[in-house]
Structure 1
Amino acid sequence: MIPQTSISGRAWAELALLSLIWGGSFLAIRTALNEIGPVTAVAFRVMPAATALWLYTRLRGIPAPRDPRLWAAALMMGALNNVLPFTLMAWGQLHVSTGLTSILNAATAVWGALLAALVFTDERMTTRKALGIALGFGGVALAIGPGALTAFNLESLGQLAIVAGTLSYAVASLWARRFLRGTAPEMAACLMLTGSSVLILPAMLMTEGVPSLDLAPVTWAAILYYALVATAFAYLLYYRILAMAGASNLMLVTLLIPPVAIILGAVVRAETLSANAFAGFALLALGLVVLDGRLSGRIRGRDARRV
Structure 2
Amino acid sequence: MTPQTHIPARAWAALLLLAFIWGGSFLAIRTALDEIAPLASVLYRVAPAAAALWFYVLLRRLPMPRGRGAWGAFLLMGLLNNAIPFSLMAWGQLHITTGLTSILNAGTAVWGVLFASLVFADERLTGRKAVGVALGFAGVATAIGWGALLSFDIRSLAQLAVIGGTLSYAVAGAWGRARLRVFPPEVAAAGMLTGATLLIAPLTFALEGPPPLDLAPRTLAAIAYYAIVATACAYLLYYRILAIAGSGNLMLVTLMIPPVAITLGALVRGEELHPSALAGFALLALGLVVIDGRPLRAMREAFDATPSRR
Both structures adopt the same fold (TM-score exceeding 0.5):
yes
Give the drift of 1:181.
1.2
* Identity, % of aligned positions: 64
Aligned amino acid, residue 243 of structure 2: A
Matches within 5 A, 1:10-21: 10-21=10-21
Counterpart in the other structure of 1:293: 293
Counterpart code for 1:23 = G
Matches within 5 A, 1:4-153: 4-153=4-153
Task: For residue 2 of structure 1, report the CA deviation from its aligned partner.
Answer: 4.2
The AA in structure 1 aligned to 2:19 is S
SS in 2 for 1:212: coil
The answer to whether the 8 Å contact 2:2/2:246 transfers is: no
Letter of the structure 1 residue corresponding to residue 217 of structure 2 = P
Query: Which range moved further: 58-67 or 35-44?
Result: 58-67
Deviations 1:207-262 (A, max 9, x none): 10111111110000000100000000000110011101111211111000000000
Q: How far, CA to CA, are the matches of 2:280 and 2:247 in structure 1?
A: 24
**Runs ≥4 residues deviating over 2 A:** 149-152, 298-307
Mean CA deviation greater in 87-96 or 144-153: 144-153
RMSD of aligned alpha carbons: 1.2
1:74 and 1:106 mapped to 2: Cα distance?
24
Provide the rounded CA distance (Å) in 2 between the counterparts of 1:150 and 1:246.
Answer: 40
C-alpha displacement at 1:151, in angstroms? 3.9
Instruction: Provide the residue aligned with 1:183 in structure 2.
Output: 183
Matched residue type, 2:50: A
In 1, the alpha carbon distance for the partners of 2:275 and 2:220 equals 34
Aligned to 1:224: 224
1:166 maps to which residue? 166
SS of 2:246 mapped into structure 1: helix
* Unmatched segments (≥5 aa) in structure 1: none
**Shift in alpha-carbon separation, 1:2–1:296, aligned structure 2, 3 A:** farther
Distance 2:147 2:194 in 1: 40
- The alpha carbon displacement at 1:75 in A equals 0.5
Aligned residues: 307
Q: CA offset at residue 10 of structure 1?
A: 1.2
Matching residue of 1:193: 193
**Equivalent position SS for 1:199:** helix
Q: Secondary structure of 2:286's match?
A: helix
In 2, distance between residues paired with 1:208 and 1:220? Answer: 19
Gaps of 5+ in 2: none
C-alpha distance in structure 2 between counterparts of 1:2 and 1:196, whole Å: 31
